[in-house]
Amino acid sequence: MLYYRRLILRITKIIMLTQTFLARAINRPKPMIYAALLGLSSSLFIAGCATSHNELGSIDTQVIEPVVSTVYETNELQDAVDKANTLDTRSTLVVFDIDDTLLTATEFFGSDKWYDWQRGRALDLQGAPVNTRDSEKVNCLFDVLGMVFEMAVNQPTQTNMADIVHSVNNDVVILTARSGAYRSATMRELERNQLNFSNKSLALSDIGYHYDYTLGGRTAQVSYVDGVFMVQGMDKGVMLLDLLKRTGDEYASVVFVDDKQHNIDNMAHALKGAGIHFYGYHYNRISKAVTDSEISQANAARTALNQLLAGYFVDRAEHINQGQCDY
């Protein structure tokens, strides 16, 4: 952790000064040597607190700051960028989510809140839970998501979204819960909305990382290529730290923008444990409320998709109907 790295550096410096002092003081009276050793030992115990000046010069000491962990509610991406601009550019990483943060779906069917509705986590305009009937759920949810991602387009959450993101001077990571199986469609929509992060990548362009990661008894196939980290629903805080460990990059601060509160909470927890300052922005511009008209549209879309598959892609339709999911 950053705390311990700083502590070790200070202790090492004190030890080196001790060795230098003893080399110079070997012929001095013992009381003077004992007094000096007592002072340096005290400095070692308090890990670099202020010491008195002597002929060797003063020891450069600094009080270790407590780890900052702050979360803001916002509907403006610029707020996060403004915060990053107040921090040291080279030691601050800016992390953006994709769905309902940078981009949002143009239709309810296949959108981020449609996914929540399919999983029984949706709320209505009054904040009450929305019931999802079994007949309204699709078979092989992630297969259907893959089909929708290939067919659908996304739009910016803000008209000036691309300009705001391009204005970031820091290193940037795009961190999405999407599966790497959807990378082609995801990169297409990022490019279509003037977003390309290959020049911000922490790994070699077009190579990146592809690996399995196990957490809490679940194993996911994750991938990081051209600045976009796809973690297949894994804990975003844990996964970001894992990525930085693999790339060898270290940061004193992280500014993170995401539309899901649990992602903000997970990131805050992971970074606090790592001694990294955290500035989280819970982005709430895109409504998560599900309406009756959206549910009607989703039911019609599900029926139409099933008819398309049954009429023209019989084998795939049979697999999905039997729950033989590929994703």
The secondary structure of 196-241 as a DSSP string is --GGG-SS-TTT-EEEEEEETTEEEEEEEETTEEE-TT--HHHHHH
Q: Find the helix or strand (DSSP H, E) in which 73 lies.
A: strand 69-74
What is the pLDDT at residue 27?
45
What is the pLDDT at residue 64?
73
User: Where in the chain are the domains?
Assistant: 1-64, 69-106+153-283
What is the pLDDT at residue 206?
74
pLDDT of 264-276, one tens digit each?
A: 999 999 999 999 9
- Beta-sheet strand order (sheet of 69-74): 69-74, 277-283, 253-258, 92-96, 171-176, 228-230, 218-225, 209-215
pLDDT at residue 129 above 50?
yes
- Structure tokens, 148: 């929708």
pLDDT at residue 37 above 80?
no
pLDDT at residue 88 above 90?
yes
Tell me the β-bridge partners of 258: 282
What is the pLDDT at residue 61?
55
What is the pLDDT at residue 8?
44
What is the pLDDT at residue 14?
43
pLDDT of 288-313, one tens digit each?
A: 999 999 999 999 999 999 999 999 99
CATH topology of domain 69-106+153-283: Rossmann fold (3.40.50)
Q: Which phi and psi (to 5°) does residue 100 adopt?
A: 60, 20
Strands 218-225 and 69-74: unpaired
CB-based burial label for 62 (10 Å; 0-12, 13-18, 19+): exposed
pTM summary value: 0.81
What is the pLDDT at residue 62?
59
Strands 69-74 and 277-283: parallel
Cα–Cα distance for residue pair 54/160, rounded to 1 Å: 58
